Amino acid sequence: MYRTHTCGELRIQNKLNKVILSGWVQRMRELGAMTFIDLRDRYGITQLVVDDKSTDEVRKITAELGREFVIQAEGEVKERSSKNPKIPTGDIEIAVEKITVLNKSEIPPFTIEDNSDGGDDLRMKYRYLDLRRNPLKQALILRHKMAQEVRRYLDSQNFLEIETPYLIKSTPEGARDFVVPSRVNAGEFYALPQSPQTFKQILMVAGYDRYFQIVRCFRDEDLRADRQPEFTQIDCEMSFVEQKDVLQMFEGLAKHLFKNVLNVELQEITQMTYADAMKYYGSDKPDIRFDMKLHEITELAKGKGFSLFDNSEYIGAICAKGCSAYTRKQIDELTEWVKRPQIGATGLIYIRLGEDGIKSSIDKFFTTEQLQEIANETSAQQGDLILVLCGAKKKTQGQLGSLRLEMGNRLGLRDAKLFVPLWVVDFPLFEWDNDTQRFYAMHHPFTSPKPEHIDKFYSSNNEDIENVNANAYDFVVNGVELGGGSIRIFDRNLQQRMFEILGFTPEAAESQFGFLMNAFKYGAPPHGGIAFGFDRFCAMFGGSDSIRDYIAFPKNNNGRDVMIDSPSPIDNSQLEELSIKLDLKKR
Amino acid sequence: MYRTHTCGELRIQNKLNKVILSGWVQRMRELGAMTFIDLRDRYGITQLVVDDKSTDEVRKITAELGREFVIQAEGEVKERSSKNPKIPTGDIEIAVEKITVLNKSEIPPFTIEDNSDGGDDLRMKYRYLDLRRNPLKQALILRHKMAQEVRRYLDSQNFLEIETPYLIKSTPEGARDFVVPSRVNAGEFYALPQSPQTFKQILMVAGYDRYFQIVRCFRDEDLRADRQPEFTQIDCEMSFVEQKDVLQMFEGLAKHLFKNVLNVELQEITQMTYADAMKYYGSDKPDIRFDMKLHEITELAKGKGFSLFDNSEYIGAICAKGCSAYTRKQIDELTEWVKRPQIGATGLIYIRLGEDGIKSSIDKFFTTEQLQEIANETSAQQGDLILVLCGAKKKTQGQLGSLRLEMGNRLGLRDAKLFVPLWVVDFPLFEWDNDTQRFYAMHHPFTSPKPEHIDKFYSSNNEDIENVNANAYDFVVNGVELGGGSIRIFDRNLQQRMFEILGFTPEAAESQFGFLMNAFKYGAPPHGGIAFGFDRFCAMFGGSDSIRDYIAFPKNNNGRDVMIDSPSPIDNSQLEELSIKLDLKKR
C-alpha cells in the first residue's frame, strides 16, 4: 500500500495515528538538526519532519532528496509546535520513521510555484511540470466541476447525452475543415466536425426531443491568440420550442452553474436586440457591468464647419464620469490608443466639463451652447469628460465600443467579481460580403428567419434580404460571448431557399446537405438549440481572459503541440496506404 | 407554446385538464365515426380522439393526416371507456378541439415499429427514421444513463474528468492511425488517438492522481463485423496504486453500474490467471456462468494406438452433462460445426455414458476401463457425453473453448439475465510473432512486468522474456471482455528496456515516445489504470451482442456513413492547401 492518507487529509484529530503518505517533495528546509519536507500531492501539502530522533537510514535518504522527488513516508502524526493556519493540514506534521524514494527527479527546468520562473515556451514543452502548479491544477479542477454540473442540470431536464461521430463529411461553407484520408475508400476523405450541428438536428428529426453533448470541435483556421484548432462546446438542441423556451432553459443552466460552481446568485438575464447593442455599446457582445453608453450626436455636431465631422456618416460620444481633470498627456495617450491599428480611429475629440466651464478640442467650431447641447445629449455633468469619434457608422460604433471598454478598465468599472449576463437577440440573418459579392449566414445556414420576415426572405431584392432578422440569440457575460444559438429551419423549402440565397447550386446543396433536407421530408419537428464555448466558459469562471490554462494540453499559435512535437512527418508507407503523396511547394 | 405536456405524461388525475400535445402520428384507426390517433414522442404515446363532436376543421385536417406527420393537438383529457393497461397513459385520451399540422411526412421507406420491415442498408441510410424505433431509442437512453452513472461514481471517488487532445502524433506501433494533414505545417500530419494512453500517464506524472474520460478513440483497421473505426472508451488512470487497488476501485464501478442502471446486485468478482483461463476454458475471456471445464487427457489418451491422438501435442475433453442420448445426426452436426473454418478442428471424438455402458467413436483403440478413466478425469457420469479434440495445444484449447460455448448455448446454460464478472490476471507481457520474428506487447508497451519477473525481463534469452508476466488485468463478463488495464512502467530505464525488447532503435523510441520518457525523469509516480469499451459495455447491459445499435450514427463495414455519404472526395483547392495530392493506383 502506497498511502493511508492523501497529503491534504490529516488534521489534529489524527494525532498519534501511524500513517503512510506518498507525494512529491515541494521544498525542504533545514533548521539545526531538523529537516522539514513539504510533501505535495493533488490534495494538499503535509509537513514531514526528520530530526535527530530519526534513524540513520531515514537521515541518509533525506540528505539525498531533491525537489520533485517522489517519496513514500511512514510515521506518526504529531501536533506542530508552530502551526501554519494557511493550510488545512497546518496543525500537524509527520515524524518520519521510514522513507522510500519511489522515483528521483532531475532539477526541473523551472520552479513549480504559483508564479513560475519559466517562460511560456519552456512551460509548454514541459507541460507535465507546468500542470503541477496550483493555478493550472485549480483551472482543471474547475473545468471538471463545470462539466459535471452541466451534465447534472441537463440530465435533470431530460436532456440525453448522445455522442455524434467525429469522422464526418467536409463542407466548404464556413471555416476550413480538418480532413482525414480514408484508406479503405481511396481518394476519399472524412472531415472532423466544426460542430455537430447537422447531427443534432437529425436527432431532433429522430424524435430525441432534448439532446446535449460536451463535445470536441475542430477548425483549421489561421490561429489568432487564444484560438485553438480543437476546442470544446456544450452543444444542445430541443424540439417543440420557441426562442423563449430555449432562453429560459439555458438561463436555468447558467444560474445552476454560477450557483453550484461559484456560489454566485445570477440576476435575471436581460435581453437586448442586436440593433440596440450596436447603437448603445458598439458591440454585439456588450459588457453591461457599467453604463457609459454610446450617444449618437451626428445631428448636433454636423454642419458647424468642422470638416472632419461634416464629412462623417456618424458622430458618436461617450461620457467618462469624473474624468474632466484628465491631463493633456492622458488625453494624448488615449488618442494614441484609439489610433492603434487594432482600433483604427483617425483621432479623438474631447469635451471637458471642468470647474472652469466647458472646454474642448473643437472650441474653434462650436459655441459653449452647442457644446452644452452635446453634453446634455450624453447626460454629462460638471466633472465629466466626453470623448467623441466620427467616421463611417458601423466602424465608428465599433471603435467607440472599444474605447468604452478601455475607459471602463481605466476607471475600474469592470469588476471581475461581478457577473452580468445578457441575451443579445434579433441578429440579422445575413451579412453581405463585398469581396465575394455574396451573402453569408451570420450564424449558420440552418438558422430560421423571424416568421414576420418570411416575405423579405423570399424577396429578390438584396436590401430586403439584408433586413431579414434571424431567430438567433447569443449569451454574453461581461462582454464575452459564451454561447449562441437559434431556432432552426425545419421546412425543406425554407432550407432550400436559404441555400439559394447563400449561392449554393441545387446540386451543391444536395451533395452536401441532402441528407438533412431528405430528413425534413419525414416529419421534422420545430426545433432550436444553442452551443456554449466550454473552454471560454471555464476561463470566465476562473477569472481568466485566456482559455489556454483551462485546456490540459493546448496547442501553440502554430497549431503545434510542442510537448509531443506534433504534427510531424509520417512514413512513406503510410502515405502510400492512404493513396496520397506530399505536394510541397517551395515558398 | 407547442405543448403543455409530453405524450408520456398524462394520467387519470389529469381528467378534464385542457392540454396541448405535440408529436408524431404513430398510427390511426377508424371506428365508425371515430378516429383514434396514437400520438408519439420520446416519452410515450397518447391517444387522441376525433369524433362527430369534433369541429369540421378538425375532422378535415385529421382526414389528411398520415404516418409520421408532426402535429399539435389541443383538447381535453377524458377517461377512456376501454383502457389500455399496457401503456402508462392508457387510462386517458384527448378529445381533440384543435389540430395543427406542424410538418408533413412522406410515407417512410420502412415501418417505424419495434420489428421494422426495413433491411439493414435501408435503415442505415434513413438512420433518423430507424432511430425513432423503440429498441434504438431504449439503447441510446440506456447509453445516456450509463454515461451519467459512470461519471457519478468516478466523481464521487475523486477522479477528475480531463479532456486530452484529439490531434496528436502518429506512432507506427499497434493498429493503424487515422492521420490529419496539417495545412499550417505543410508535409506534417496529426494522428487521431487510438487511446489517450500516453496523455493519461502524463497526467499522472503531472500529479493529477485520479483521471477519467469517456473518450472517442480511432483505429484504421480493416473492419470486421461489429468493429467501428471510431469507438468510445471509459478511460481511467490512478497514481500510487498496486493492482489490487485498481481492481477494487473498478469492481466498485461495475457494481455501481449494475445496481444503478440494471438494478442487479453483482456478486463478488473472482480472479483467474490467464494460464488457468486457457487451461480450463480455452479462452482469455471465459464465460463462467456455467462449468463444463476443459480437461487435459493427453496422458490418458496417448499411446493407445490411435494415431490421431498419438501425434497430438494436446488432447482435451469437455463433459456435456445429460447429453448421452445425442443422436448420430446430432453428433455429425457438431462434428461439422467444429470443422468449420472459424473453428478449424480436424474432427470430433465422443465418449457416451449411456444406459447401456460406455460407447465411443474410438472403441477400436480403447478398452472400457481406459474410457472409464477418461470419464473419471472429466467427472462424467452416466447420462453424459464427453467431447474430445486434439492437436497443437494452444489451438486445440481454443477450439475446445469454442465448442464449450456452443454446447453452453445448446444446453441453455448461458442465461442472458445472469451476469457473472471475472478478472483475468497475470497475462504474459509479450507475444512472439513468428512472421515478423519479434516480440509484441500483449497489452501495450507501457505495461509493467511483474516485479518478481524483472530478472527475466532483462534476460537476453527469448524464452525467459516469453515467460515474463505482466501486471495486467482484463474485466470479463459472460465471456465478453469489457475492459483491460495494467500497472504501468514509471521508470525510464525499464521503459527503455521495454522498447528495446519490442525492437525499437533508441532513436525511434526517442522520436515517438521521448516526451513520455523525458517526463519519467522528473518524478513520475507509480500508476496504473484501465479502459472499458463503452459501446460494448452498453450493448451487454442492453442484452445485445451488437454494438451498432448502441451508437447513434455508426459506420458500415466499409467504414462509410451511408446516411451522410462519407467519406467523400474533396476539392482540389483543399488538397492544394494541405500540400498533398491523390496518388491513386489502378487496382
pLDDT band at B358 (very low <50, low <70, confident <90, very high): very high
Q: What is the DSSP letter of A241?
A: -
With a cut of 90, say whether residue B175 has pLDDT above it.
no
Question: How far apart, in whole angstroms, are the C-alpha atoms of residue A234 and residue A221?
Answer: 21
Verify whether the Cβ–Cβ distance B581 to A585 is below 8 Å: no
A343: containing domain: 290-410
Q: What is the DSSP letter of B259?
A: I
Q: How far is A478 from chain B (nearest CA, A)?
A: 26
Question: How far apart, in whole angstroms, are the C-alpha atoms of residue B420 and residue A111?
Answer: 50
Residues in chain A with CB shorter than 8 Å from the CB of B178 are: 167, 180, 190
- Among the partner-chain residues A199, A521, A577, the one whose CB lies closest to the CB of B553 is A199
Chain A residue at shortest CA distance from B560: A185
In residues, how long is chain A? 587
- Among the partner-chain residues A160, A553, A578, the one whose CB lies closest to the CB of B141 is A160
- Cβ-contact A237, A202 below 8 angstroms: no
Residues in chain A with CB shorter than 8 Å from the CB of B206 are: 127-129, 131-132
- Among the partner-chain residues B103, B108, B210, the one whose CB lies closest to the CB of A490 is B103
- Cβ-contact B239, B231 below 8 angstroms: no
Which run of H or of E encompasses B243?
helix B243-257
Question: How far apart, in whole angstroms, are the C-alpha atoms of residue A196 and residue A531?
Answer: 10
Q: How far is A249 from chain B (nearest CA, A)?
A: 14
Residue A424, beta-bridge partner list: A272, A474
Which run of H or of E encompasses B79?
strand B70-79
Establish if B446 touches chain A: CB-CB under 8 angstroms: no
% of chain B residues with pLDDT over 90: 94
ipTM of the complex: 0.95
B448-488, pLDDT tens digit by residue? Answer: 999 999 999 999 999 999 999 999 999 999 999 999 999 99
E strand residue ranges, A472-570: 472-477, 480-487, 527-533
How confident is the model at residue A222, as a pLDDT? 82
Question: How far apart, in whole angstroms, are the C-alpha atoms of residue B377 and residue B319?
Answer: 10
CA R_g for chain B: 30
Chain A residue at shortest CA distance from B524: A103
B115-148, pLDDT tens digit by residue? Answer: 999 999 999 999 999 999 999 999 999 999 999 9
Of A395, A410, A425, which residue is a domain's last? A410
Verify whether the Cβ–Cβ distance B229 to A167 is below 8 Å: yes
Question: Among B21, B129, B163, B168, which would you mutate to test the A interface (most chain A Cβ atoms within 10 Å of its Cβ)?
Answer: B163
Residue A217, beta-bridge partner list: A231
B586 domain residue, yes or no: no
Question: How far apart, in whole angstroms, are the C-alpha atoms of residue A477 and residue A255?
Answer: 12
Same domain, A73 and A173: no
pLDDT band at B379 (very low <50, low <70, confident <90, very high): very high
Of B390, B410, B430, which residue is a domain's last? B410
* Average pLDDT of the residues of chain B: 95
Sort A175 into a burial class: Cβ within 10 Å, 0-12 / 13-18 / 19+: exposed
B70 domain residue, yes or no: yes
Cell numbers given for A88: 488545512
A129 domain residue, yes or no: no
Same domain, A475 and A426: yes
A486 domain residue, yes or no: yes
Chain B residue at shortest CA distance from A25: B523
How confident is the model at residue A587, as a pLDDT? 54
Find the helix packing angle between B197-205 and B506-519, rounded to 10°.
Answer: 40
- Cβ-contact B399, B348 below 8 angstroms: no
Q: How far is B504 from chain A (nearest CA, A)?
A: 15
Question: How far apart, in whole angstroms, are the C-alpha atoms of residue A8 and residue A92?
Answer: 11
Establish if A160 touches chain B: CB-CB under 8 angstroms: yes
Question: How far apart, in whole angstroms, are the C-alpha atoms of residue A285 and residue B386?
Answer: 78
Sort B356 into a burial class: Cβ within 10 Å, 0-12 / 13-18 / 19+: exposed
Digit-by-digit pLDDT tens for chain A (587 residues) are 999 999 999 999 999 999 999 999 999 999 999 999 999 999 999 999 999 999 999 999 999 999 999 999 999 999 999 999 999 999 999 999 999 999 999 999 999 999 999 999 999 999 999 999 999 999 999 999 999 999 999 999 999 999 999 999 987 767 899 999 999 999 999 999 999 999 999 999 999 999 999 999 999 988 776 789 999 999 999 999 999 999 999 999 999 999 999 999 998 899 999 999 999 999 999 999 999 999 999 999 999 999 999 999 999 999 999 999 999 999 999 999 999 999 999 999 999 999 989 999 999 999 999 999 999 999 999 999 999 999 999 999 999 999 999 999 999 999 988 999 999 999 999 999 989 999 999 999 999 999 999 999 999 999 999 999 999 999 999 999 999 999 999 999 999 999 999 999 999 899 889 999 999 999 999 999 999 999 999 999 999 988 999 999 999 989 999 999 999 999 999 999 999 999 997 65
CA nearest neighbour of B357 among B345, B375, B331, B330: B375
E strand residue ranges, A361-420: 385-391
Same domain, B169 and B250: yes
Residue B35, beta-bridge partner list: B30, B50
How confident is the model at residue A121, as a pLDDT? 92
CATH for B533:
3.30.930.10
B278 domain residue, yes or no: no
Establish if B110 touches chain A: CB-CB under 8 angstroms: no
Question: How far apart, in whole angstroms, are the C-alpha atoms of residue B482 and residue B422?
Answer: 10
Question: How far apart, in whole angstroms, are the C-alpha atoms of residue B29 and residue B224?
Answer: 44
Question: How far apart, in whole angstroms, are the C-alpha atoms of residue A350 and residue B5?
Answer: 59
B 184-213 residues with CB below 8 A of A? 184-192, 198-199, 202-203, 205-210
Question: How far apart, in whole angstroms, are the C-alpha atoms of residue B236 and residue B241?
Answer: 13
In residues, how long is chain B? 587
B343 domain residue, yes or no: yes
- For B365-444, where are the alpha helices, taking DSSP H only? 368-377, 393-410
CB atoms within 10 A of CB A190: 31
Same domain, A394 and A436: no
Same domain, B553 and B421: yes
CB atoms within 10 A of CB B464: 14
B278 CB contacts (<8 Å, ≥6 apart)? B284, B394, B397
Residues in chain A with CB shorter than 8 Å from the CB of B520 are: 103
Question: How far apart, in whole angstroms, are the C-alpha atoms of residue B527 and residue B505?
Answer: 26
Establish if B102 touches chain A: CB-CB under 8 angstroms: yes
Residues in chain A with CB shorter than 8 Å from the CB of B209 are: 6, 41-43
Same domain, B420 and B558: yes
Establish if B308 touches chain A: CB-CB under 8 angstroms: no
Question: How far apart, in whole angstroms, are the C-alpha atoms of residue B542 and residue B527?
Answer: 33
Find the helix packing angle between B134-156 and B243-257, rounded to 10°.
Answer: 140
Establish if A432 touches chain B: CB-CB under 8 angstroms: no
CA nearest neighbour of A538 among A497, A489, A477: A477
Question: How far apart, in whole angstroms, are the C-alpha atoms of residue B330 and residue B406?
Answer: 13
E strand residue ranges, A335-408: 349-354, 357-360, 385-391
How confident is the model at residue A586, as a pLDDT? 60
Q: Among all chains, which residue has been given the C-alpha cell 506487447? A: B441
Which strands make up the sheet holding A230-239, listed edge to edge? A160-161, A210-218, A230-239, A527-533, A480-487, A472-477, A421-425, A270-273
Residue A226, beta-bridge partner list: none
Same domain, B509 and B441: yes
Verify whether the Cβ–Cβ distance B583 to A580 is below 8 Å: yes
Which run of H or of E encompasses A141?
helix A134-156
In chain A, how many domains are there?
3
CA nearest neighbour of B335 among B350, B351, B352: B350
Same domain, A79 and A213: no
Q: How far is A514 from chain B (nearest CA, A)?
A: 8
Establish if B116 touches chain A: CB-CB under 8 angstroms: no
Same domain, A424 and A402: no
pLDDT band at B586 (very low <50, low <70, confident <90, very high): low
Same domain, B421 and B558: yes
CATH for A96:
2.40.50.140
Verify whether the Cβ–Cβ distance B520 to A103 is below 8 Å: yes
Question: How far apart, in whole angstroms, are the C-alpha atoms of residue B422 and residue B401?
Answer: 17
CATH for A310:
3.30.1360.30
Same domain, A164 and A189: yes
* Distance from chain centroid for Cα A3: 39
E strand residue ranges, B523-562: 527-533
B255-288, pLDDT tens digit by residue? Answer: 999 999 999 999 889 999 999 999 999 999 999 9
Higher per-residue pLDDT: B33 or A6: A6
CA nearest neighbour of A297 among A175, A423, A405, A388: A388
Q: How far is A581 from chain B (nearest CA, A)?
A: 5
Chain A residue at shortest CA distance from B124: A515
Establish if B218 touches chain A: CB-CB under 8 angstroms: yes
With a cut of 60, say whether residue B587 has pLDDT above it.
no
Of B72, B103, B134, which residue is a domain's last? B103
Over residues B338-346, mean pLDDT: 94
Same domain, B440 and B474: yes
B569 domain residue, yes or no: no
With a cut of 90, say whether residue B545 has pLDDT above it.
no
Name the phi and psi angles at A19, rounded to 5. Answer: -135, 160
Question: How far apart, in whole angstroms, are the C-alpha atoms of residue A213 and residue A166?
Answer: 13
A217 domain residue, yes or no: yes
Q: How far is B128 from chain A (nearest CA, A)?
A: 5
CA nearest neighbour of B554 among B532, B535, B568, B538: B535
Give whole-number Cα distances, B99 to A472, B24, B37, B64, in Å: 28, 13, 12, 12
